[in-house]
Amino acid sequence: MSRRPPSQPASTPTPPTPREAAPREREIQSNPAPVSPPPPRRGAAPVACSGWSGRAAAAAAAPRLSIRPREQIRAPNGGRRARGGSNSAPLPLLRVSFLRVCCSVRFLQGGGLLIEMGGRVSKAVACCCCRSQHHGVVVESSEKTAEEDHGESYELPAFQEFSFEQLRLATSGFAVENIVSEHGEKAPNVVYKGKLDAQRRIAVKRFNRSAWPDPRQFLEEAKSVGQLRSKRLANLLGCCCEGDERLLVAEYMPNDTLAKHLFHWEAQAMKWPMRLRVVLYLAEALEYCTSKGRALYHDLNAYRVLFDDDCNPRLSCFGLMKNSRDGKSYSTNLAFTPPEYMRTGRITPESVIYSFGTLLLDVLSGKHIPPSHALDLIRDRNFNMLTDSCLEGQFSNEEGTELVRLASRCLHYEPRERPNVRSLVQALAPLQKDLETPSYELMDIPRGGATSVQSLLLSPLAEACSRKDLTAIHEILEKTGYKDDEGTANELSFQMWTNQMQDTLNSKKKGDNAFRQKDFSSAIDCYSQFIEVGTMVSPTIYARRCLSYLMNDKAEQALSDAMQALVISPTWPTAFYLQAAALLSLGMENEAQEAIKDGCAHETSVLV
């Protein structure tokens, strides 16, 4: 497919002032285009309950609850049945259609009602609000919290404070080639990719000196955001606050930004099911943050949505940091800022919803359309101009209309008229498609990164380390010998040579014999004696002891030796490959793949 040139934002006149925009947007909101309701989900049954309007009943039926079988269900008031006198009103008629539920009902002594069921049930069960003395109905909701629903039991290292030297080494001295931020080194606050000692990939945001003049406020904000842990976020792992330096450390997301995949794609446009997944995951991320007391998100845009190793979308944690001016900044073009920000200069939770609406427009159109222009298109019912032509035939009119309707609600001029994040999740969840298809398949990107190890032409040692074939690794290291030590500096005084060299060489010789005979425990002891003397430096000795540790199921010591070999010889491919084998033994597959790629890059540069 031919390369599609980067999309340009639609050219529009200068956005009107809030005073001018208000009447027109109120007109759009009060007289929206006719919107056909989306078709009901397959298998959904109607719900009716006396005293409810059809709309309320339908809304209550949308969420589905899991009910534990054969248990007496407790009421929201803690399980106490409502008390009523002899003149209590009779229990109103309740008609509920259950979804794939086998249900039996029987009365208990004392007037309780036991509901025995399995499978899924509509939330409308809870609409029994009137109870009699003899027929109390108590219901336990298994509705999950935002934290449980979105996989927030996410294991990551605890937030920590890094030294500036640690981050300098992790980013190769803040090298230009490690810059991953949108505007490169011209950005006011530059983001670098890097690696920590344990090969965990990180993103490091380095602020300019004027961004956080108060170190105490910076640390408080960073520690607060660092408590969040969610699979919907690119989580904050730590920070650095030394002198004038202010840096944040987050999980590294290798598969670019939503802006890249929407506006500057090369092979193919993002598919409709993936676009729906992106906006749902983003809404879930905002819901999680709101539930943890972090409802404000600064400058929400397509560059803040990142894709992890599996191509799942995540929200950058950097936007959760309240800046030094107490939330009074908004860096995007004013055409995309919420109207109330134009008036007050402050960001509110409703402002975040407005920005979410602009993202819905991005996803729908594949272009960065100013909200004022989009609302004109919606008012004129010009939906063809609003939708991405690359999506033709991928979605129904009802789905497109629902997304347009949701975007127009988010872009309402009056903040109080905009939906909250929970209602966004509830509106987007039923629209999801291809739920069983992994995101990396929808994106046509190999799992584990844009370049997979399988796609590389590996040398025999790299291949053996990628499979953790320790026998093959041993054969290759034995055959290679010490030729890779050529050029390693070993400056010894005459006294050292006469007094220590013979013992050192004897330890090395014994270690080599043990290594050749596959007596790896003895090899570890002999090589350790050689290293402890310190009269000679040999990366090969560390490589051999690394493999010996792996043979003895000591992966952490093996990783330490591989890293020490890299300290001696920073571009030695063998050290990278052995590091990968150790990381695989520790279950760190993604980090192992990165080490293999680094080794291949250095090996290729040597061949060239």
591 contacts: CB under 8 Å, gap ≥ 6: 198, 199, 200, 201, 583
- Measured in whole angstroms, the distance separating CA 68 from the mean position of its chain's CA atoms is 32
User: Which backbone phi and psi does 419 adopt, to 5 degrees?
Assistant: -70, 165
What is the distance between the alpha carbons of residues 560 and 566, in angstroms, rounded to a whole number? 10
Short-list 438, 474, 461, 483, CA closest to 546: 474
Q: Which amino acid is at 59?
A: A
User: Which backbone phi and psi does 344 adopt, to 5 degrees?
Assistant: -110, -20
Residue 278, H or E segment: helix 272-291
Token output for 384:
């063809």
Contact 543, 565 (CB under 8 A): yes
369 contacts: CB under 8 Å, gap ≥ 6: 9, 10, 361, 362, 386
Residue 41 to residues 403, 425, 456, Cα–Cα distance (Å): 16, 16, 44
Contact 28, 375 (CB under 8 A): yes
Pseudo-torsion of CA 586, 589, 594, 595, nearest 10°? 30
> Helix 539-551 crosses helix 555-568 at what angle (to 10 degrees)?
170
Q: How far apart are the first and last CA of the chain?
A: 31
Pseudo-torsion of CA 259, 264, 268, 273, nearest 10°? 20
Active-site residue, from 149, 299, 376, 469? 299
What is the distance between the alpha carbons of residues 302 and 354, in angstroms, rounded to a whole number? 14
Beta partners for residue 233, in sequence order: 315
| 299: annotated active-site residue | yes
DSSP 8-class letter at 511? H
What is the distance between the alpha carbons of residues 168 and 180, in angstroms, rounded to a whole number? 16
4-7: long-range contacts, CB 8 A cutoff, minimum separation 24: 4/265, 4/266, 4/269, 6/263, 6/264, 7/262, 7/263, 7/264, 7/366, 7/367, 7/368
Short-list 316, 585, 584, 311, CA closest to 448: 311
Q: What is the CA radius of gyration of the chain?
A: 31
- Measured in whole angstroms, the distance separating CA 248 from the mean position of its chain's CA atoms is 16
Contact 234, 316 (CB under 8 A): yes
Residue for token pair 């309320």: 56
Residue for token pair 């050292």: 496
Looking only at Cα atoms, what is the longest distance across the chain?
Answer: 108
User: Which backbone phi and psi does 248 adopt, to 5 degrees?
Assistant: -115, 145
- Measured in whole angstroms, the distance separating CA 210 from the mean position of its chain's CA atoms is 29
Short-list 597, 579, 585, 599, CA closest to 197: 579
Beta partners for residue 136, in sequence order: 112
Token output for 481:
């010998």
Residue 51 gets the label, from left (phi > 0), alpha (psi -120 to 50) or beta, of left
Q: Which residues are catalytic?
A: 299
